[in-house]
């Protein structure tokens, strides 16, 4: 074999080896990518089941003999017996170990919020004012909420209906023209931003002060300062009420504060599924207790009103 032919053979061999190396590296990368995707899917499924377990544990608390509820010193909702208003022990709510991970959940009183479907427009405006929303945005949000709920297609001065606003959006949709069924619908209404809906460390969001599920008046034992403000309660009275209920829940609202009740049967459970200490899935459930006995000794039946899926 001539030297030129031997050189060509060597180059050919090197090219084949290089090609095999590239194919091997690509195969190894694909295997790592597929394994990573499988781990992510597995962790997501595990976290979803863990979050659901958190909801189930929250439902166990609601099904107990608790009659009154109030906010304790640590900010957590606490249940009390009817007869002596004794504190009922809580189940573990934070970083509960289960199988491949952990779950955490928080119970809040849905009746600590104002019902968006039954609250008059002036009170909605006052609520937004108490949240620090300026007048222009308040007018837009209040009018748009009413337009979203009313059965016609004529928008109010600062509101929005299907033809003049929602159908012109990049992803068009129609105004519901019926009562709000889930508070998450607010995110579809003109003027409601994600920041206003979720809130931050400085102020609660609309999801914390409005509800579409709780009937009747807000609960004086669980309502927050913004709801008291929207109901026209003075700052000094708000402070006094919140201090008093830390010691023991009110059986009846004090005579100088109107528009409140002292107990609730509708609650919200926000649960997280954690893998390696990090939240990987969340579930929100709204549940209502039924057939509460006079003594509370036999516990409560609980039904799910709303379930916001795993995310």
Mean pLDDT of 279-305: 80
Reported as a pLDDT band with limits 50, 70 and 90, residue 32 is confident
**301 domain-assigned:** yes
| Overall domain count for the chain | 2
Together in a domain, 250 and 224: yes
Q: Is residue 200 part of a domain?
A: no
> Averaged over 282-302, what is the pLDDT?
76
**Do both 177 and 88 map to the same domain?**
no
Specify if 197 maps to a domain: no
Q: What pLDDT digit, counting tens, does each position of 69-107 carry? A: 999 999 999 999 998 999 999 999 999 999 999 999 999
pLDDT band at 215 (very low <50, low <70, confident <90, very high): confident
Q: Is the pLDDT of residue 211 over 90?
A: yes
Instruction: Indicate whether 143 belongs to any domain.
Output: yes
Q: Is the residue at 208 inside a domain?
A: no
Determine the Cα–Cα distance for residues 129 and 258; give it in Å rounded to an integer. 20
Cα 180 to Cα 113, 118, 128, 149, 192, distances in angstroms: 15, 10, 18, 7, 14
Best CA proximity match to 119, nearest among 194, 223, 227, 192: 227
If one counts every other C-beta atom within 10 angstroms of the C-beta of residue 165, the result is 17
Check pLDDT > 70 for residue 298: no
pLDDT of the residue at 296: 45
pLDDT at position 216 over 90: no
The pLDDT of residue 192 is 97
Question: What is the average pLDDT value for the chain, to the nearest integer?
Answer: 90
* pLDDT, greater one: 124 or 27: 124
pLDDT at position 37 is: 77
Higher-confidence residue of 291 and 51: namely 51
In a domain, 209, yes or no: no
**Is 2 a member of any domain?**
yes
pLDDT digits (tens, 9 = 90+) for 40-67: 888 889 999 999 999 999 999 999 989 9
- Which of 141, 170, 174 has its CA nearest to residue 157? 141
What is the Rg, in whole angstroms, of the alpha carbon atoms belonging to the chain?
A: 28
Ramachandran angles phi, psi of 299, nearest 5°: 80, -165
DSSP 275-310: ETTEEEEEEEEEEEEES--SS-TT--EEEEEEEE--
* pLDDT bucket at 291, cuts 50 / 70 / 90: low
pLDDT at 242: 94
Does the pLDDT at position 140 exceed 50?
yes
Provide the CATH number for the domain around residue 188: 1.10.40.60
Question: What pLDDT digit, counting tens, does each position of 152-209 carry?
Answer: 999 999 999 999 999 999 999 999 999 999 999 999 999 999 999 999 988 999 999 9
For residues 118-138, give the mean pLDDT: 97
Domain holding 257, by residue range, is 1-113+214-311
């Amino acid at each position: 074999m001539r030297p030129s032919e031997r050189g060509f053979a060597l180059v050919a061999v090197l090219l084949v080896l290089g090609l095999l190396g590239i194919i091997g590296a690509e195969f190894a990368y694909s295997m790592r990518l597929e394994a990573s995707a499988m781990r992510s899917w597995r962790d997501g499924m595990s976290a979803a089941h863990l979050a659901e377990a958190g909801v189930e544990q929250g439902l166990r608390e609601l099904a107990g003999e608790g009659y009154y509820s109030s906010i304790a010193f640590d900010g957590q909702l606490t249940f009390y017996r009817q007869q002596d208003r004794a504190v009922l022990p809580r189940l573990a709510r934070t970083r509960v170990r289960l199988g491949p991970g952990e779950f955490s959940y928080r119970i809040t009183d849905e009746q600590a919020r104002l019902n968006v479907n039954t609250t008059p427009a002036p009170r909605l405006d006052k609520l937004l004012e108490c949240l620090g929303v300026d007048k222009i945005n308040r007018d837009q949000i209040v009018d748009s909420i009413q337009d979203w709920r009313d059965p016609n297609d004529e928008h109010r001065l600062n509101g929005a209906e299907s033809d003049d606003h929602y159908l012109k959006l990049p992803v068009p949709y129609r105004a519901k023209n019926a009562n709000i069924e889930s508070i998450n619908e607010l995110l579809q209404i003109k003027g409601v931003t994600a920041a206003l809906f979720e809130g931050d460390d400085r102020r609660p969001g609309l999801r914390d002060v409005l509800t579409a599920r709780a009937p009747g008046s807000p609960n004086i034992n669980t309502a927050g300062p913004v709801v008291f403000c929207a109901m026209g309660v003075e700052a000094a009275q708000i402070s006094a009420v919140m201090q008093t209920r830390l010691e023991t829940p009110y059986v009846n609202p004090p005579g100088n504060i109107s528009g409140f009740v002292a107990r609730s049967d509708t609650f919200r459970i926000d649960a997280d599924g954690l893998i390696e200490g990090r939240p990987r899935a969340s579930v929100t459930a709204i549940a209502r207790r039924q057939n509460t006995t006079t003594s509370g000794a036999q516990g409560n039946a609980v039904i799910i009103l709303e379930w916001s899926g795993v995310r």
